[in-house]
Amino acid sequence: MLCRPTTFVHLALLHLFVVLRPPHSLLSPYRTPPRTVPYFFRTAISNVGLAPAAVKILERFKWTKFGAIAENIDRDTSTMVALLSLAATKGITPTTKQQMFPINGGDDPTPALKILKEANTKIFMCQVGPGMARKVFCAAYKLGMTNDDTQWVIPSWFGPKWWRVPSAAVDCTAEEMDEATRGYLGYEQKGQSLRSLLTPAKETPAAFTTRYVKAAKTFKHASSYPAGGIGIHQGGYMAYDAVWAWAYALHDVIVTRQAFYQLSFEDLAKDGTGGQDALKDALYRTNFQGVSGQVTFDPKTADREGLSISIENNQNGTDVEVMVLNPDNTLYVTPGVDVVWRSSTPDGKGGYVKTGMLHKPDDGSQRVIQVQLSMLDDTDNGFGLVKPCKLR
C-alpha cells in the first residue's frame, strides 16, 4: 500500500516496477499525468469524483446558496474546487465572495464560521477529514450554527459515531457532539453494487456482503470507534475487485494472449521482457462485473470506473443510505427511507420520529464578503507495478 507521505517517491520509481500491488485506495485526487507514470492505477475514484454527489444533494433539495469549508489538504481543497465549479454550472453559488474557507489542521475554524454566520449561511458544504470535522461541528455548535434552520453536508466515510472519538482539540461533550451532528447529510463511495449480476466468484454482490459481514465479525477495525470498532468498510469491496482485476490481467497476458506476448509468469518479474507494458495494457482492457460495480479503468486517468456514490443521513446516530448516485449520474432513492431533518420530533426514546419533508432548511438570504484563499498540496494512494529490490 502506498501511503500519502511516500506517494511522490513511489511515483518517481514506477518506471522500475514490474509486479502489481492492489490495495484499496485512499481518497486524495493527486495524480501525475498517466503518460508520466503509466503504471499507476487507482482502485477507486478519487475524492474529486465525489463532488457530483455533493452537488446532486444541493440540486435535490433546491438549495442555491451554501457556505464552503475545506480542510487545507489537496484531498479536500481539490474536491471543493470541483464541487464549486460544478455547482456554478447549476446556478448554485457560495454565500460569500470567498469561494471556500480552507482550514489548516492546527487552526481553529471559528473565525471562518463567524464569517459564514454573518453572511446568514444556512447550508454548509464541509469537505474535511474526521479530525477536522469534529473541530468544525464543535465550533459550529458553540456558535449556534447547528439548529433546525441549518443543514450540514459532509463526507461520510469516517466510520460509526466518529464525532464521539475523544480529541484534545475538541472541548464539546459527547452529548453536545451528538446534538451538533444530528441530521447531517453525507456522501461516500458505495461498496456493494446495486446490481444483482454474478461476479467472477459466481455470487451476487449481496451474497458477497453476507460473507464479508460474517468474516468481519472475527476481527476488529483498526480504528477504535466507541461503537465497538467491528464492521465492514466500503474499501473492502474495491480491494476485492482489485484482486480480481489483477488476476484477469495475469490470465490475459500469460494464457489468453500467450501466443502474442510469449511471456511466462516468471518473465513478468524480469527486466527487459515487456511484461510491465503487457500487464498495463491488460489492466486497461479490464471489464467485468465486480462486487462494487462494473470494473473498468479510465483510459485517460487510470482511475477506477463503474462505482456508485452513497448519499446518507445521520439518523439517531447512524448513517442511513437515503439515495445512491449511479455511475450514469441517475439518482436512486431508497424506497421507504425519508430524510430525518434536525427539526424532526423527539420520540421520547433518545431518537427522533421520521418526518420526511416537514422542515427542510432553506438556504436563506445572502450577502457578499471578501476574504483570501490559500491551498496546500497532498498526495494519494493507489496500486502500481512493483519490482522487488536486489541486494548488492
Distance CA 7, CA 296 (A): 23
Answer for the pair 368, 207: CB distance below 8 angstroms, yes or no: no
As a whole number of angstroms, the distance between CA 351 and CA 182 comes to: 10
Question: For residue 308, what are the CA distances in angstroms to 42, 50, 294, 304, 392?
Answer: 16, 10, 10, 11, 47
Q: How confident is the model at residue 79 (pLDDT cuts 50, 70, 90)?
A: very high
Question: How far is CA 121 from each of CA 130, 152, 184, 314, rounded to the nearest angstrom?
Answer: 22, 11, 15, 21
Which whole number is the average pLDDT over 114-139? 95
∠ CA 174-76-330, rounded to 5° = 95
- pLDDT of res. 369: 31
Half-sphere exposure of 53 (CA within 13 A, CB side): 33
Of residues 4 and 263, more confidently modeled:
263
Q: Is the pLDDT of residue 341 over 50?
A: yes
Per-residue confidence band for 17, with pLDDT thresholds at 50, 70 and 90: very low
Residue 194 has pLDDT above 50, yes or no: yes
Q: Which domain holds residue 199?
A: 1-392
Alpha helices of 90-129 — where are they, by DSSP H?
110-118
Place of cell 488476476: 247
How many angstroms from the chain centroid is the CA of residue 142? 28
Residue 1 has pLDDT above 50, yes or no: no
Averaged pLDDT for residues 333-358: 66
User: How far apart are the C-alpha atoms of 132 and 155, rounded to whole Å?
Assistant: 12
pLDDT in tens, 203-214: 999 999 999 888
Q: Exposed, middle or buried by CB within 10 Å (0-12, 13-18, 19+), for 5?
A: exposed
Domain count, the chain: 1
How many Cβ atoms from other residues are within 10 Å of residue 157's Cβ? 21
Residue 360 has pLDDT above 80, yes or no: no
| Three-state secondary-structure class, residue 369 | coil
Selection from 166-170, 206-210, 212-216, 378-382 with the highest mean pLDDT? 206-210
pTM, entire model? 0.78
Task: Give the whole-angstrom CA distance, residue 331 versus residue 52.
Answer: 11
Which range among 70-84, 177-191, 247-261, 343-357 shows the weakest confidence by mean pLDDT? Answer: 343-357
What CATH number is associated with residue 41? 3.40.50.2300
Residue closest to 145 by CA, chosen among 169, 116, 166: 116
**pLDDT digits over 301-329, tens only?**
788 888 899 999 999 899 999 999 998 88
Instruction: Report the 10 Å Cβ neighbour count for 152.
Output: 26
Task: Tell me how far apart the 2 most distant CA atoms of the chain are, in Å.
Answer: 71
| pLDDT tens-digit map of 270-290 | 878 888 889 889 999 999 999
The pLDDT assigned to 27 comes to: 54
Percent over 70 (pLDDT), the chain: 75
Stretch 174-203: mean pLDDT, rounded? 92
